Amino acid sequence: MANNEPDPASCKVVLAGTVAKSLLSEVSEGLSKLTRAPLLVGFLANSDPAARMYADWTNKTCKENGFKFELREVDREELEGAILAANADSNVDGIIVYYPIFNNRQDQYLQQITDIRKDVEGLSHRYIFNLFQNIRFLDDQKLQKSILPCTPLAIIKILEYLRVYNTILPYGNRLFGHSITVVNRSEVVGRPLAALLANDGACVYSVDVTGVQQFTRGEGIKERRHKVVDKEGWGLRECVPLSDVVITGVPGNSFNFPTELLREGAVCINFSTEKNFGPEVKEKASIYVPAIGKVTIVMLLRNLVRLVQNRESMQEASNHVDRSSDE
């Protein structure tokens, strides 16, 4: 006799493409209000296949959504001059460099010579300073929003899409009550992500090979920005069972997340190019997002629109000052 009982409730797998489509309407609306299609210039100066794939995705997404994109392939020794030339070119609205280039501090130097008005990746010192200090605008009038790095921002937007952010709470506090483990503390993604999540009210456990750090805004989220505390002797075994959201981004194929540590019903997100979670994650998680790449590229376009909007806002403010001085 056939068993007609329904299958037990299972994990909902949410694909990045689904989230990306929901975010493109905001980007399209912003684009429609600009006087021309913005031009994004990408610089490829390495042979990394992941960088090439990211460039191809960027090109495809730009063309499909009304943006202009130029990929400029240069020798890494010529990259500095190429970036400076793009800085000075009024036709270029945004610049992205596909890192790593030198894989040392020279990459950090290249990040800092990109004009802040064209830094679509949000890697300039001013933007990074604002991120960690929980400063969300570039000006006192709060007309120009600070630019956030694309990958951490993509994860934030995915959490908003999944309704992890509580919209009943005030803006800036909407993760209050959530505990989140982030397995990655790189300066490019992991640490900025932990800071962003904590600044939005979460208790964040940031994990890397050296141990665990806790990012919070203190008891009752009374602090204006996050504080960091080392959790001596802690590892995944201590923080994962406390977390209702787990985010992984461990490079290489040797890491397999220990899913037996997960809370029942946890939300799991992987931003590594490798699969950090095995298929068994679906037996414990309520929602699983296996990759985020397509959302990251939409955030790139969102940042590009915002850069143009910021520049127009600056010009409008300058024109107002000029008119006032003439009166």
Identified catalytic residue from 62, 150, 239, 268: 150
The C-alpha atoms of residue 103 and residue 313 are separated, in whole angstroms, by 36
Rg (CA), the chain: 21
8 preceded by a cis bond (ω within 30 of 0): no
At 214 the three-state DSSP class reads: strand
239 is catalytic: no
HSE at residue 44, side-chain half, CA atoms within 13 A, is: 17
Q: Per residue in 65-91, is it b (16+ CB within 10 Å) or e — as a string?
A: eebbbebeeeebeebeebbeebbeeee
For residue 162, give the nearest of 317, 11, 278, 322 by alpha carbon: 11
Structure token digits, residue 135: 């400063």
Kindly list the catalytic residues.
150
